[in-house]
Amino acid sequence: MIDSHCHLDHEPLFKDIENVIIRSKNVGIKKILTICTTLKSFENIIKLIEHDDIIFGTFGIHPHETETNNITSEKIQIEVNKYQKIIGIGETGLDFYYDHSDRKAQIKSFQEHITAARNLKIPLIIHSRSAEDEMFQILKEYKNENLKILMHCFTGSKNFAEKLLDYNTYFSASGIITFKNSIELQKTFSFIPIDRLLIETDSPFLAPEPNRGKKNEPSFVKFTAEKLAYLKKISFEDIVEKTSSNFNRLFK
């Protein structure tokens, strides 16, 4: 298995990283992608990718943090090029649900990340909440740029997913698909082609059933994989093979 999106720099994971990694390996996790959200968090991302062979990282500014973390595409490219194990740009995107940062600042930051991902030819990891129309309008401007797009913790509509499939987009399922009230999202993941699917925890957030309410960690990704296998009507072993292959193809 591969946890394609987590936050190992967040507590309680960071202080317990040795045990977190042991538990991850014990359930069969081969790679973990830990995601950058601020300039400060990147300092710990660097420590983490050097800590264990299975840990890889990204560089990016979360949409909540765009007002206090100004970034340019040039700065992103410089930082990514320093480290072989930094393999993606993000997470970036738009969050018009919480609006923790000004919307114009979010859009500008998102566009800087897109430019960097295009120039570096590595995946763009997108956070999108309550901003489907705005997100799609921005991505339309780059349709011919051959972007590699990963919609992390996808909770969007089936219509949004269908439109994004034409943009070389992959979709990551989080523990939310295990929640009893996520019927529409489960239908959407049933619809998305299996060669476009990844799995993630977004830990320490969004622990899947049967651990909902607990602090999440990468080893819990197995519960999301089990649910996704059920939705796609294939075996657990097949969903692990497919999602891992998809990750490796996307991130090379």
The model's pTM: 0.97
Per-residue pLDDT tens over the stretch 17-60:
999 999 999 999 999 999 999 999 999 999 999 999 999 999 99
Q: What is the pLDDT of residues 53-79, one digit of tens each?
A: 999 999 999 999 998 998 999 999 999
pLDDT tens by residue, 83-135:
999 999 999 999 998 888 999 999 999 999 999 999 999 999 999 999 999 99
| Rg, C-alpha atoms of the chain | 17
Q: Tell me the C-alpha distance between 203 and 176, whole Å.
A: 12
CA angle, residues 75, 79, 84, in degrees to nearest 5: 150
Q: The tokens of 224 are what?
A: 């999301």
Which residue has 């997913």 as its token pair?
Answer: 161
Q: What is the pLDDT of residue 61?
A: 97
